[in-house]
Amino acid sequence: MLLAEPPRTAWDLDFRVLGIPVRVHPMFWLVGVLLGLRSPTPVALLTWIAAVFVSILVHELGHAAVMRTHGYRPSITLYALGGLASYGPTGSGSRRSGGAAAQIAICAAGPAAGFALAGILLFVLTLAEINVVVQFGLPMLVEIEVTEIVWTAALSRFINDVFFICVFWGIVNLLPIYPLDGGQIARELLTMVNRAEATRWSLMISFITAGLVAVAALVQWDDTFAAIFFGYLAYVSYTTLAFYSGHGRWY
């Protein structure tokens, strides 16, 4: 969900997947550890970090794969809470290139890749006759959980973490909030309606949606971290909206 690549460091991890350059910034590991501090054991923390790495990498590979179909040369950077699949002559650039339909496909491909990974896992576990529970409802929206040991307790926890990240984070990522994929999709859809007002309208939607989610997280779900996170996104959308509108007017 990054909009620009972070500066390189001496501790970056660089490798390639299917010919696509991947860079992992050290902040990615640090934030992964912070998000997993409630893990009951060191092994659980390591499986959480592994699940975050695999799930977000698959998400960004989804973006990159569709970029390739449109003739771009993508690269991936994993950083902090997420990552960035960018493109250009040297593998860096902006997602603003190309038509609206292409941008929507590129943005939607990340969550779709995560949903596909979760679907494949669910299919394989079902074939192996392993008990998997699928539940619908708030606040998780969709929750998939393995309720028995799959070879080892660590592997079971890893699978459940992957389900959580790919499905729940994937759904959240589709909300029309900047800089999430859903916020960028909303902008592209509005571009088809009114190019001149698309950015301003999408920022208004982002500000209102993020604010409502922040209130729900604090009041309904008792999740302080989510409230702070979406409150911050609401603030960013509001300040960006004021800049685009001029003179502090955002309506």
What pairs with residue 87 in β-bridges?
74
| Residues 230, 210 contacting (CB under 8 angstroms) | yes
Q: What is the mean pLDDT of each run of 10 residues along the chain (251 residues)?
A: 77 95 96 91 95 97 94 92 74 55 94 97 94 84 88 94 95 94 95 91 96 92 88 94 67 53
| pLDDT score for 2 | 54
| pLDDT score for 95 | 44
**What count of other Cβ atoms lies within 10 Å of the Cβ of residue 73?**
18
| pLDDT score for 105 | 95
What's the token pair of residue 144?
């998939």
Residue with tokens 């499986």: 47
| Residues 114, 184 contacting (CB under 8 angstroms) | no
Separation in Å, CA 18 to CA 7, 52, 65, 101, 183: 24, 20, 10, 25, 28
Query: How buried is residue 174: exposed, middle or buried, by Cβ count under 10 Å (0-12/13-18/19+)?
Result: buried
> Which residue type does 82 have?
G
Length of the chain: 251
E strand or H helix at 146: strand 141-146
